[in-house]
Structure 1
Amino acid sequence: MSTRVAFLFPGQGSQTVGMGADIYEASPAARRVFEAADTALGFPLSSLCFQGPEDTLRSTINAQPAIVTVSLAFLAALQEALSPDDSSWISPLTPAFLAGHSVGEWTELTAASVLSLEETIKGVRERGRLMEQEGTSCPGGMAAIIAMEPDVVEQVCQEATERALAEISEPVHPGQGKVIAANYNAPGQIVISGEKRALELACELAKARGAKRVIPLAVSGAFHSPVMRPAADALDSVLSELQIKDAVIPIISNISATPLTDAHALREELAKQVASSVQWTKTVEYLVSAGVTTFIEIGPGNALAGMVKRIAKGVTMLNVSKASDVAKVAAALREAGI
């Protein structure tokens, strides 16, 4: 096993119409991933990835399985490029760790042999459905807070929550009136998430307290916040029916930024994660402390690459998000002797 490489998998928001179409044409291994996902879901998810429409692809119930499928297709294509005759999810290039941002944790489940591809795709679509449902039950959203210290962001969220709850006589949803720091993405970039009124108050307070920018995100719900607690409870039941195995490669927890391999711990992580903050900065810091020097982001977009560059200096960052990247990254890995 390499002690220097970590695979990173992107989360929701990285989806774009056309993603994966080039690797479907270029790689037999990638094509098999798309075909398996289409069969598992009983409809052509691949066509939705390649052709849209954009509104349908952006819907959480579709975006989540689509991102996971495209990420796994690129992973399969990269391993195939490194060894056309003998490849698997983690061979010939065996990473020391896997780390996924939000729904990217589900990509890891197949890569680490925790779930089959078919189980992963079915499970993550149900995750998306449950999260979308709570976004309708308790409308909310997310916003990026730029250039504000974490403790100040947390204070802003706490004050906004207190003010929002004071306006409510009797909450009818566990997330009503609440907002939290949901994604600690990188120094100077924290995403807050919560119920509509609480989020509005937090955004106003952040601007007043000196945030450089406050950017509302185009999402369908208050992900990784108390608004998602009913979804977390329902997902726990879904996970109890899946044959979850121990991970063959350590998976870094979004919640604790520590490695997980035990099946029971992974089940708990996946349920709680939808309503918990994503500790991405600590995740990357942990990986660097564990000796990782080469990070490979695998899947649509390059958002994680940008985050890593802001968190860790002097590391190698590679990205596989289009067909032409596969050969380039494979060549770079060979040249580096990895």
Structure 2
Amino acid sequence: MWGRMAPRPDLALLFPGQGSQKVGMGLALWEASPSARRLFQEADAILGYPLSQLMFYGTQEALTDTANAQPAIFVCSLAYLLVAIEAGLISGRPQLVAGHSLGEYTALVAAGSLEWEEALRLVQIRGKLMAQAAEERPGSMVAVMGLSPAQVEEICQATGAEVANYNSPQQTVVGGPQEAIREASRLAKERGGKAVPLVVSGAFHTSLMDSAAQGLEKALAQVSIKDAVIPIVGNVTAAVLTKAHQIYDELKAQLTSPVRWLQGVKCMEQKGISTFLEVGPGQVITGLVKRCAPHLQAYSLEAQILAGVKT
């Protein structure tokens, strides 16, 4: 993928997760790039249904379904990466890669640790397992704004909710059973914060995903995970991972562990990263990075392509 591209020690590529989906995403890439079109067509064949048509022309409700949203964002992000490399919009091989939740699988393809076809099959299985786990053990999630991670952790200890995402210094997502989330929301407001319900089908990255994690572990055992050519900063550890066994442990633990995005951005900064490029639909990750490290540069590739600007 990276060929003889010169290294960029200041650059990290970031890949979005669930929540970035929108009807029409990827259509411009399909129309303009033979490589992207071929990727979408091959993905449809692997999945056994026309995901690309759902992405381009389906309903937002169908696309938001966890089983559809995850492979859709994965494939669309890969298409953006292909087009960006072909067009010279990425001017060097990144020092690090990272992805938010689902985006970690896209990052592993960019890192050379997973073949994209195997990663897509894993993502399809992951989405189905998470949807099934959400039906078996219903839960919900809220984004708590205006409180520190430590304050949110105290609320979780008091209510039985669990931290699911450390997104930024002032945004921590919590998940759990409905009653625990209602009480956590009440306490957050009482303590000066704001609790915003998320439109998701379950309490992802909490213990309510235990059955999904067990199923995913079986699927991971059938996949060839290689050492990363480009190091990846993990969600679970917020540390740099390069060895196949580290990556396996990361993916195995990811569904029931919080995404330590804030800590991961700090790790990347410590490794000399000063420019972050979000590769995929939307600008959610770009916004999070700017809140985690406002003194660093963060760009959305989608915006870069629209603006015709080279990074």
Q: Give the TM-score range, shorter chain.
A: over 0.9
Q: By how many angstroms is 1:191 displaced?
A: 0.6
- CA separation of 1:295/1:217 partners in 2, compared to 1, >3 Å: closer, same or farther? same
Deviations 1:93-123 (A, max 9, x none): 3100001000000101211222211111111
Deviations 1:210-258 (A, max 9, x none): 21x1100000000011101121111111000011111111111101110
TM-score, length of structure 2 as denominator length: 0.94
1:37 and 2:19 matched: no
- Match of 2:103? 104
- Match of 2:3? none
1:196 and 2:196 matched: no
- Match of 2:196? 215
In our comparison, the structure showing a higher alpha carbon Rg is 1
The worse-fitting range, judged by mean Cα deviation, of 317-326 and 193-202 is: 317-326
- Match of 2:4? none
Q: In the aligned structure 1, how far is the partner of 2:179 from the partner of 2:42?
A: 42
Q: By how many angstroms is 1:322 displaced?
A: 6.0
Q: Secondary structure at 1:184's aligned position in 2?
A: strand
Aligned residues: 305
**Which one-letter code corresponds to 2:298 in the other structure?**
M
- Match of 1:49? 55
Would the aligned equivalents of 1:6 and 1:95 in 2 still touch at CA under 8 Å?
Answer: yes
Q: In the aligned structure 2, how far is the partner of 1:114 from the partner of 1:291?
A: 22
- Choose which of 145, 163, 177 in structure 2 pairs with 1:181: 163
Would the aligned equivalents of 1:18 and 1:49 in 2 still touch at CA under 8 Å?
Answer: yes
Q: Secondary structure at 1:143's aligned position in 2?
A: strand
1:205 and 2:204 matched: no
Deviations 1:124-148 (A, max 9, x none): 0100111111110011111010101
1:20 and 2:26 matched: yes
Q: By how many angstroms is 1:33 displaced?
A: 1.8
Q: In the aligned structure 1, how far is the partner of 2:42 from the partner of 2:213?
A: 27
Deviations 1:147-182 (A, max 9, x none): 012111111111111xxxxxxxxxxxxxxxxx2111
1:144-163 alignment runs, 5 A limit: 144-161=143-160
Deviations 1:279-311 (A, max 9, x none): 111111111111111110011110111111111
Q: In the aligned structure 1, how far is the partner of 2:148 from the partner of 2:85?
A: 40
Q: Secondary structure at 1:301's aligned position in 2?
A: coil
**Which one-letter code corresponds to 1:199 in the other structure?**
I
Q: Secondary structure at 2:211's aligned position in 1?
A: helix
Q: In the aligned structure 1, how far is the partner of 2:272 from the partner of 2:176?
A: 36
TM-score, length of structure 1 as denominator length: 0.87
1:272-311 alignment runs, 5 A limit: 272-311=253-292
Sequence identity of aligned pairs in percent?
Answer: 44
Q: By how many angstroms is 1:326 displaced?
A: 7.6
- CA separation of 1:92/1:315 partners in 2, compared to 1, >3 Å: closer, same or farther? closer
- Match of 1:80? 86
Deviations 1:262-291 (A, max 9, x none): 111111111210110011111111111111
Q: Secondary structure at 2:273's aligned position in 1?
A: coil
Moved over 4 A (4+): none
Deviations 1:14-52 (A, max 9, x none): 101111111111122222221221121121111111111
Q: By how many angstroms is 1:323 displaced?
A: 8.2
Would the aligned equivalents of 1:11 and 1:67 in 2 still touch at CA under 8 Å?
Answer: yes
Q: Secondary structure at 2:235's aligned position in 1?
A: coil
Q: Which 5+ residue runs of structure 1 have no aligned equivalent?
A: 84-90, 162-178, 334-338
Q: In the aligned structure 1, how far is the partner of 2:18 from the partner of 2:115?
A: 21
**Which one-letter code corresponds to 2:247 in the other structure?**
L
1:228 and 2:209 matched: yes
- Choose which of 246, 249, 255 in structure 2 pairs with 1:265: 246
**Which one-letter code corresponds to 2:301 in the other structure?**
V
Would the aligned equivalents of 2:237 and 2:250 in 1 still touch at CA under 8 Å?
Answer: no
Q: In the aligned structure 1, how far is the partner of 2:137 from the partner of 2:170?
A: 29
Q: In the aligned structure 2, how far is the partner of 1:290 from the partner of 1:325?
A: 30
- CA separation of 1:42/1:326 partners in 2, compared to 1, >3 Å: closer, same or farther? farther
Q: In the aligned structure 2, how far is the partner of 1:18 from the partner of 1:241?
A: 33
